[in-house]
Every structure is written in structure tokens, then in C-alpha cells.
Amino acid sequence: MKTALQIAMAELGRKEIKGKENNLEILKYSRETALAGFADDETPWCAAFVAWCHMKSNRPYSNKANARSWLHIGTEIEEPFPGDIVVFWRGSKQSWQGHVGFYLGHSNNSKKVHCLGGNQGDQVAITAYDANRILGFRRISDFIPLEIPKPLLRQGSKGKEVLRLQNLLGFLDFPCGALDGDFGPKTAQGLRGFQEKYQLKVNAIYDATNEQKFEDLLKE
């Protein structure tokens, strides 16, 4: 499976469409990660882009559309490697505004940070940002192994089995939000999509029939 950075690299050059028309490839970043609040491709989408790349690489991601939410995902680090997350402030350090992307490296004089991200000049691009705007670096965990959860799970369930369900649904392209072990509305939506596609009872309840279907799919 590709890393989040490799997936991000493949999106380089993806641009917004000016005017009323939207680039559907940009809107998919928020749609497939189940992030709310995106009506067009001109809504700030840097956090949605990073979330989408992590979802596609089977890694945890923030389920919020604001850049600073990434300061609470993964592990805080002091010495980043290419592919780690970097979060910048916008407006002021005290404001809610920010920008998030993939760290690529510092400039020779360490005054700039090269960042691959979305919504950089209205596209997916590599941009140099002032290092004094950095709020923090984060390292996201490695691949989460695919494990078939044990039934019965439904909205309101919590814990390791729910995390396994969310991870597996995301792997099969049924977005259900962040991998947080909390069976909420987004997880229910992802499970309904799975049930509908494979002609199971569409009730957002993970039972033995769903478990067997997962086992069959992973054998293919």
C-alpha cells in the first residue's frame, strides 16, 4: 500500500475551477472522508486533502475540517522527516485559522519549510512557508492491520471492535470518518453503504452476516 505522501504526490497540480463550476476531484477529499461543510472547491480544503491522503493509506486522520485539529492527531515530534505533518498558524498564533500539509524539508538557512499540501495557491502544490509560522509537527502511526471485528456492533458501540470495523470499511472505500473507536453517525453511514453494495440488510448493524461478507472479501 502507498504511503500518504506518495498519494499526495500523485495529486500534484490538482486545481480549483474558478467561478460557479467545481473540480469534483477536490470535492471528493471532503466527501470521501465524510467531512462536513464543503459546498464548493473554494472552501478551504487543506485539512480535507491531508485527511483523504491518510484515509487512502489506511492511517488515522482528523475528522474535523480545520487545519489545527491535526495538532491532536498522531504523536508530537521535534525532528520531522519527509511525510510527517506540519501545521502552521494563519492570522495569528491565537486565532483558530491555520494550514496543514506534508513536511518535505527545511531550506538551507532553516528560515523556510517546504510543504506539500492542498489549497496552496488554489491547488495541490509544493510551497515554502516561513518557519516562524510553525505550530507543530506530528507523526501519524504506521498502517493499522486489517482485522475482522466481532459482532454485534451498532450506533453507540465503542472500543477496539468498532475501530476494526472503521478501519476495514475505510480500506474497502466506505468512508466513516476518523478511526476513533466510536460508532457514530459517520460509521453508520459507511456501514450502510457496505450493506447496500453487497445486498445485505441495510440497517447499520454489524452482525454475523456482515462478518461473513468481510471474510469472503478478504479471501478474494
How confident is the model over 158-184, as pLDDT tens digits?
A: 998 998 998 889 888 887 877 788 999
Instruction: Say whether domain 160-219 belongs to CATH 1.10.10.
Output: no
User: Is 37 in contact with 145 (CB distance < 8 Å)?
Assistant: no
- At 4, give phi and psi (nearest 5°): -60, -40
Mean pLDDT value across residues 14-34: 89
Domain boundaries, the chain: 4-139, 160-219
Q: What is the pLDDT of residues 105-132, one digit of tens each?
A: 999 999 999 999 999 999 999 999 999 9
Length of the chain: 220
Cα separation values, 90 from 94, 95, 190, 194, 214, Å: 9, 7, 33, 39, 44
pTM across the whole model: 0.68
Is 4-139 in CATH node 3.90.470.10?
A: no
